[in-house]
Amino acid sequence: MPLATPPAPHLTRTRAAVTATGLWRAYGSGEAQVVALRDVSVEFASGAFTAIMGPSGSGKSTLMHCLAGLDTTDRGTVNIGDATITGLGDKALTRLRRDKIGFIFQQFNLLPTLTAEENIQLPASIAGAKADPEWLRRVIDTLDLRDRLTHKPTELSGGQQQRVACARALATRPEVVFADEPTGNLDTRSSGEVLRFLRKSVDDFGQTIVMVTHDPSAAAYADRVVFLADGQIVHDLREPTADTVIDTMRGFENRVPLAGEAR
Amino acid sequence: MLRAALKGMAARKARLALTSIAVVLGAAFIAAALVLTASIQSTVADLNGDSYTGADVIVQPVEPETSAERHVRDGVAASTLAAIEADEDVAAVSTTVTWMVNAIGDDGKIVGGLSPTLAINWGDESVERELREGRGPEADGEVAVSAQFAADAGLGLGDDVTAYSLSSDKTAYEIVGVYGYAGGRDSLSGATELAFTTPDAQRLVFDGQDVYTAVAVTAAEGVDADTLLAAIGDDLGPESQAMTWDDYIAEANAENAKATSIVGYFLLGFGLIAVFVSVFLIANTFTIVIAGRLKEIAMMRAIGASRGQIIRSVLTEAVLLGTGASIVGTGLGIAAGAGLTSLVADNLLDTATTNVTVPLSAPLAALAVGIGVTVLSALVPAMRASRIPPVEAMREAVKSDKPIVALTVTGALVTLAGAAAIALGLNGVFDGDRTNLVATAAGAGVVFIGVSLLTAWLSKPVVSLLGTVWAWSFAGRLGRLNASRNPRRTAVTAAALMIGVTLVTATATLLTSVKESLNAQFESTVKAELFITGPLTSTVPATFDPALMDEVRAVDGVGTAVELYRDITLIDGTEQSVYASTDLFGAVDQFGGEVVEGSMDDVGDGEIAVNQWSADQLGVGVGDTVAATFSRGEEAHEFTLAAILADNEESDGWYVTTAYTDEFYTPKPTLALVDVADGADVEAVTGDLETLLAGEPEVSVQNHEDYLAQLTVFFDYAIIAIQLLLALAMIVAVIGVINTLVLSVLERTRELGMLRAIGMTRGQSTRMVTVESVTIALFGALLGIGTGLGLGWVLQLALADSGIGEFAVPTALIAAYLGAAVLVGLLAAIAPAVRASKVNILGAISYE
């Protein structure tokens, strides 16, 4: 099995949307200290769909949280576009998340008091602005949400809710969208819809997406899969398929026997 | 189950502590009220026990059957005193002569205001006095004064003090001594005192008659009190009665108990309102706690816990919470009661010692009410908890609101029933005015309960309406949406505030209406622009020299000026208000009175005029004869009814010539009405009159506004007193809102985390919670104001026939209530908002 595949033709753009350099992150202290990230350096190319995989406790969520400015790092730097976010205060980080980052959560996390449309507008509303209506129309149409806009989240199925969440993440045309197990709570059909949309948004809109998942078939939608184990990047897979992902995982499952749950 | 309950409580310390504050407050008020009442009573009993020390029998005049003012005629006769002194069972006798007098201080003003100045005979043994300087009065014209009087009047040994009573002329007395009381006190209950020789005291108090206020008798060697009482019985004239010293003290204590229990009831009332409001708070907290433990309870049901066990576990928690809070409340209440006792003792009673008594009823009542209320409030949430199906344990938590239809329908029906009772009562459908009034008042109460039930239904539209205020801010909009998210919870939280605000608004509206009605009535009937009179609060009625009236009339710009004397007179055996004036027609006219029968023009001596209602009461008409005994009169005078006046609040009463004023309790005029001539400058006339009255220390020139302010000052005090009630309701409301918000923030941790993750600032999340808080508080206040105004209006309508013809809205107070509600919302938001802004984003959004 090759350690790395050559980059896909449309990924040859040099600009990186997110860059991490020498990231260290540890929790607790003394005996109980757990090192979640050890010297992780990784680049996420602009306009690419990258999946982060790894067994539980491998540090994949920590990596995403550090990249998104939700968690602090002990050492190393994170850049979003040209901006270094490491060391920024809460205010600056909050503004950065608002303007440059989109989020998709496993739990959808829509506000039950707002309609679908209002939920999509949420990041813009928080910023005291309105999203570009032309762009919004495109996103909504792509996600097939037009006739659901006036519905409250409780009146929507899980798949529809996650599509609303996707639209919310894209509404402000962020530099990068972080998706944390976006299909973890969905059935196969809805998962497919959401993943196809993510793929489409990369291909058609040039959106950068970083997705944490433990589902090989979800990872197969990505351009590239970064494997984490024990706080380190252990593999970088280009042009993945479900099979190559499973093979890769099996490969280091044997190598790292302490890894727990790995479906 | 007990272990589970205890552990559960330990895990929710903060919320339980907040909830228990309401129970603590209620229990504390109840305990404090009972302790204060008992302590003041025992302190006063100690104080009473010191009076007439050593005496065995006290002889007093027979109780006057009518009002206190008539007492001036009554005293133990000198002949009775002589007979007692001659009795062989008697070892010693001391006499008391006392009543209120006027004394002029160094500044030319009357000494004292609300606390009386008393004349006393030196040698009185009703209380123990200790001479500090000089000596007691030995000759007429000499006086010893209490240290408090010397201080208040700014006078000292060797100075002259002018004293007079209603029936005596101003006389100067030389201060020959200054004294205090047992325990180094300067005064008793704040009263100031002047001790004269017995003849001087009798001149001031009894118009110079040789009679006594009381006679204290000490038994001879070997004679007990009862034997003495029996022996003295033969010595007493018909004007006197005797009782043993023990009975006398018991009677005095009973009188005091009656007076102090009013304070106690007041505090008890506060306690009960705190308890009532806390019912909502406690019920809400338990509902909230149970909602948070839905899964846990379902799991317990799934593994075999019975419904009874679930109910018992919730109730156990309630008992523990109620007991803990009640014990703390009782302790605080007892401490507060003791503290208040010494405050009262120091400032009002001037006692050297206090006797703090904790009656068994204090802890018992406080504990019973505290625990009882907590358990009762938890009952409904407990029942609801027991109905949670075990399958909830497996289900993904989808919390749908319970429908509020049943609640709304019940509320609407109750409100309609109350409104129907009001409508029937106001339209006089029932027989009898009283029944109609009761129906209206009861209907108002029922509407109040109905509206309370409707709060959940009302919360949506009202909160949306309030939301328009915050529409400019997105965080504010989210906060408003959150406030209407759970109408039930919002309603119960707001209800705590609504109850308090409704009560105070209704009372304030009614009082303001009464005040306005009085004003309107007064303005529309009274013609005179100016009044010459003294403060209504003075203990001795303020009077002025009637000779001044000629000078008043001579003042440039004065049209008509009439003086009025007033007395409480026995007419055909009933107490009646009687007025006298040298210009009877003028007096009635200035009060807006009209003659309906007979003529006022030449009412002479032996003739009398009266308003229609009073004439009907006595069943007399023009030409009939009535018998009148004035306060200081020895016997009745016959009067022929010469005229009947139309009923008119201001001019109602009996009118006679000034020929009888010497027999009035107040033999000098107490009021003059001055009608300023058309075109004359009222300001200038006022100035001239003030100059004219410079030598009259008791009275001043007042315009309508001044005079009415005096008449209605009681209502102002009453309105202030009820604001205290509001303050209490506010404290409980703050706790309630905090409770609800903390829960909301906890429930929405994930949501808050998401909002923060996608870029909401801490400031925005703080604003969001604050808006939710203020919205709930304003909703409660608005509902309370609306209901209160409605109830006040209904009561005013119901009482319109009783003279409350005007409906007045206490605008300033209502604005203040809204302000207070905003304050409540802001205060309550602090802790939850801080919590919300510190939400750990990672913890909130990670899913495990």
Residue A175 sits at the chain B interface (C-beta within 8 Å): no
What residues of chain B lie within 8 A of the CB of A107, using their CB?
750, 845, 847
Cα–Cα dist A158/A194, whole Å: 11
CA distance B450 to chain A (A): 29
Structural domains counted in chain A: 1
CA distance A135 to chain B (A): 19
- pLDDT reported for residue B455: 85
Cβ distance A102 to B756 less than 8 Å, yes or no, reads no
> What was the ipTM of the complex prediction?
0.81
Identify the sign of the CA torsion B182, B184, B186, B190: negative
Q: Which residues have C-beta within 8 Å of that of residue B217, sequence separation ≥ 6?
A: B55, B56, B57, B58, B59, B84, B90, B92, B93, B228, B232, B242
CA distance A111 to chain B (A): 7
Backbone angles phi, psi at B760, to 5 degrees: -80, 135
Q: Residue A190: which domain range?
A: 15-255
- pLDDT reported for residue B562: 92
Closest to A111 in 3D by CA, of A119, A121, A101 = A119
CA distance B479 to chain A (A): 10
Query: Which CATH number fits the domain that encloses residue A133?
Result: 3.40.50.300
Residue A9 lies in a domain: no
Which residue does chain B place closest to A115, by CA atoms?
B481
Neighbour-count burial for A173-183, b at 16+ CB within 10 Å, e otherwise: bbbbbbbbbbb
Q: What percent of chain A has pLDDT over 90?
A: 49
Q: What is the pTM of this model?
A: 0.74
Closest to B487 in 3D by CA, of B516, B513, B509, B458 = B458
Pick A128's closest partner by Cβ from B398, B474, B753.
B474
On whether the CB atoms of residues A37 and A62 are closer than 8 A, the answer is yes
What residues of chain B lie within 8 A of the CB of A94, using their CB?
756, 759-762
pLDDT digits (tens, 9 = 90+) for A106-141: 888 888 888 999 999 888 888 888 888 999 999 999
Cβ distance B478 to A113 less than 8 Å, yes or no, reads yes
Residue A10 lies in a domain: no
What is the enclosing helix (H) or strand (E) of B645? strand B637-645
CA distance B763 to chain A (A): 10
Residue B222 sits at the chain A interface (C-beta within 8 Å): no
Single-letter residue type at B535: P
Cα–Cα dist A68/A49, whole Å: 16
- pLDDT reported for residue B11: 66
Model confidence band, residue A258 (pLDDT cutoffs 50, 70, 90) = very low
On whether the CB atoms of residues B189 and B345 are closer than 8 A, the answer is no
Model confidence band, residue A6 (pLDDT cutoffs 50, 70, 90) = very low
Cα–Cα dist A168/A101, whole Å: 11
- pLDDT reported for residue A1: 38
Residue numbers of B between 396 and 435 with CB closer than 8 Å to A: 398, 400
- pLDDT reported for residue A12: 44
What residues of chain B lie within 8 A of the CB of A102, using their CB?
758
Residue with tokens 């009220």: B33
Chunked into runs of 10 residues, chain B (848 residues) has average pLDDT values of: 64 70 81 84 77 85 61 76 88 88 83 79 86 92 92 90 84 93 78 91 87 89 87 84 88 78 73 74 76 74 79 86 90 88 72 76 89 86 81 56 76 90 83 81 86 85 82 82 82 83 87 86 84 77 86 88 90 89 88 86 87 90 90 85 87 89 87 88 88 83 84 80 74 80 81 88 90 90 92 86 83 90 90 86 71
Pick B762's closest partner by Cβ from A90, A102, A123.
A90
Per-state percent for chain B, helix, strand, coil, to nearest 5 = 60, 15, 25
pLDDT digits (tens, 9 = 90+) for A186-232: 899 999 999 999 999 999 999 999 999 989 999 999 999 999 988 99
Return the HEC string of B454-488: HHHHHHHHHHHHHHHHHCCCHHHHHHHHHHCCCHH
Closest to B151 in 3D by CA, of B116, B186, B103, B108 = B186
Q: Both ends of chain A: CA-CA distance in Å?
A: 20
- pLDDT reported for residue A5: 46
Closest to B29 in 3D by CA, of B322, B272, B356 = B272
Q: Where are the domains of chain B?
A: 1-51+246-397, 52-245, 458-527+711-848, 535-698
